[in-house]
Structure 1
Amino acid sequence: ITEYGAYIRLDEYGGKRGFVHVSEISSSWVRNIREHIKEDMKLVLRVLRVNPSKNQIDLSLRRVTEKEKEEELYYWKRRVKGRSMLKLVADRVGKSYEELYANYGRKLESHFGDLYEVFRRLSTKGPKLLTAIGVPEDLAKIFHEVASEKIKQKPVKVRGIVEIATHKPDGIEDIKEALMKAERLSDEEVSVEAYSIGAPRYAIEVSAENYKKASSTLREAFELIEKTLKSKGGTVSFKEGH
């Protein structure tokens, strides 16, 4: 950082050095450059000019909008994570990052958009995601192994409310039976929980790895409750998302 601006190491350009002049730091008057830029700070900058003969890259901070900063930092973090996971795969198969990227990484980026997306999908889809596009099975398994270790999927939760009416003396036992049947839909991929929120209303909560699975299981739970109680003379209504 100098009196007239700051020299910036460009992570996305192989570590080349650029310069942001004090006039390009902020749209308002800059009293002290260090109020805006500090050593080791991550910045999103716009490239204004490139002069290869002088090895000079002119940059701007003030011309980058807040939305652009947020988006670029989001994708930069994805790129860093994706490369880090590919490096782990390379280490485990005894190859250099550069070799693995040249042989497979570039193709995977083209197919999935970026390396992080490859590992994100692998964490739920398994090695077949890669073998289907020509990656050897043994290598695909290593990719999946790394994805499973590094990417933890947050479960998707959906909720519905059932209103139950029964006039039988032992109607509460029928309701318990119906709700227990719904909860038995739980397995390794999906969790179903049913509980009272004040009779005659009961909540059904479903957690799964994706919305499609969670929503379809919620509908299945309701249909099971409805079928069970109707066979015993009860009535059931259902509202999703409450």
Structure 2
Amino acid sequence: MKYSGWPEPGELVVGKIDEIEDFGVFVDLQEYEDKRGLAHVSEVASGWIKNVRDHVSEGQITVCKVLDVDRSAQQIDLSIKDVNDHQRSEKIQDWKNEQKADNWMELAFGESLDGEQYTQIANELLAAHGSLYDGFKQAAIHGSEALSETDLTDEEIEALVDTARENVSVPYVTVTGYVDLENPSASGVDGVREALSAAEGNGELPDEIELDVTYVGAPEYRIRVQAPNYKTAEDHLESSADRAIAAIEDEGGSGQFHRDRRTDEE
């Protein structure tokens, strides 16, 4: 996706060096439509420069800092030397991520996607999550909920979520806890089964949550939760244990949640 506007002073931009002169370097801005900037020779590298080509080459992708923008003169002043290695690496990665997201837009909507619809959908993702890539990432993690505050149609949201979940790699964390379930009442094993079903969420968990309950050894059961982040995982772990304990108590039994597995010596 290329922006139709202008970059702002202080912004980091990705550019392709397309012309080198003794007085400086012309850079084609990869994120903006029909925008070209100039890095004066004094902004190419620190210290005295004998030959600009010792520091840059035509066709090279680089990251520049925008020093000044003069729209009336159609001029953008850039600096290459003011960008450190960390900023350069991070910006290039963000740019590559946006290119991926651009391809995902085509996967989501196919050849029927025209420029107007693309811009409308992209603007909604940018407003909600700051970038196309983060919009897809959040859709992969949280599903349609991540796009519920946008003005996108249900069909557009479904297409975005489906594409995100097929293409975006998201980090997941896993947490584990244990619950002891005892039921001396008449419902016996059936009551424990009800408690385990409650622990597993009765089929009503969000799509981004994976939760399973396994038998360890009487009366202990392991609850394992996989989620996009620790807070969400911990919340679902505790909720799972609470549901199991409430269900077993309704059956006349008792339950107890603990983080570590019991040992025979305890």
Which stretches in structure 1 are left out of the alignment for 5+ residues? Answer: 163-180, 195-202, 225-235
The SS at the match of 1:142 is helix
Residue of structure 2 in register with 1:120 after alignment:
137
1:59 matched to 2:78? The reply is: yes
In structure 1, what residue type is equivalent to 2:113? K
State the alpha-carbon separation in 2 of the partners of residues 216 and 158 from structure 1.
10
The SS at the match of 1:43 is strand
TM, length-normalised to structure 2: 0.58
1:17 matched to 2:17? The reply is: no
In structure 2, what residue type is equivalent to 1:58? D
The SS at the match of 2:108 is helix
The SS at the match of 1:44 is strand
Alpha-carbon offset, residue 70 of structure 1 = 4.2
1:95 matched to 2:113? The reply is: yes
Cα distance change, pair 134–48 in 1 and its aligned pair in 2 (3 A): closer
Residue of structure 1 in register with 2:210 after alignment:
190
State the alpha-carbon separation in 2 of the partners of residues 103 and 220 from structure 1.
39
In structure 1, what residue type is equivalent to 2:170? Q
Cα distance change, pair 120–60 in 1 and its aligned pair in 2 (3 A): same
Q: Deviations over 1:146-194 (max 9, x none)?
A: 111221223213468x9xxxxxxxxxxxxxxxxxx9xx96999436799
Q: What is the aligned-residue RMSD (CA, Å)?
A: 4.4
The SS at the match of 1:135 is coil
The SS at the match of 1:145 is helix
Residue of structure 1 in register with 2:127 after alignment:
110
Cα distance change, pair 215–40 in 1 and its aligned pair in 2 (3 A): farther
The SS at the match of 2:157 is helix
In structure 1, what residue type is equivalent to 2:210? V
Alpha-carbon offset, residue 15 of structure 1 = 3.7
State the alpha-carbon separation in 2 of the partners of residues 31 and 185 from structure 1.
69
The SS at the match of 1:62 is coil
Residue of structure 2 in register with 1:197 after alignment:
none
State the alpha-carbon separation in 2 of the partners of residues 117 and 215 from structure 1.
24
The SS at the match of 1:63 is coil
**Given the alignment, which residue of 67, 76, 81 partners 2:95?**
76
Cα distance change, pair 158–103 in 1 and its aligned pair in 2 (3 A): same
State the alpha-carbon separation in 1 of the partners of residues 134 and 64 from structure 2.
25
**Given the alignment, which residue of 146, 165, 177 partners 1:148?**
165
State the alpha-carbon separation in 1 of the partners of residues 139 and 170 from structure 2.
11
User: Which piece of structure 1 moves more, 203-212 or 128-137?
Assistant: 203-212
- 8 Å Cα contact 1:190-1:209 kept in structure 2: no
Alpha-carbon offset, residue 131 of structure 1 = 5.2
TM, length-normalised to structure 1: 0.63
The SS at the match of 2:67 is strand
The SS at the match of 2:99 is helix
Q: Percent identity?
A: 28
User: How many pairs are equivalent?
Assistant: 212
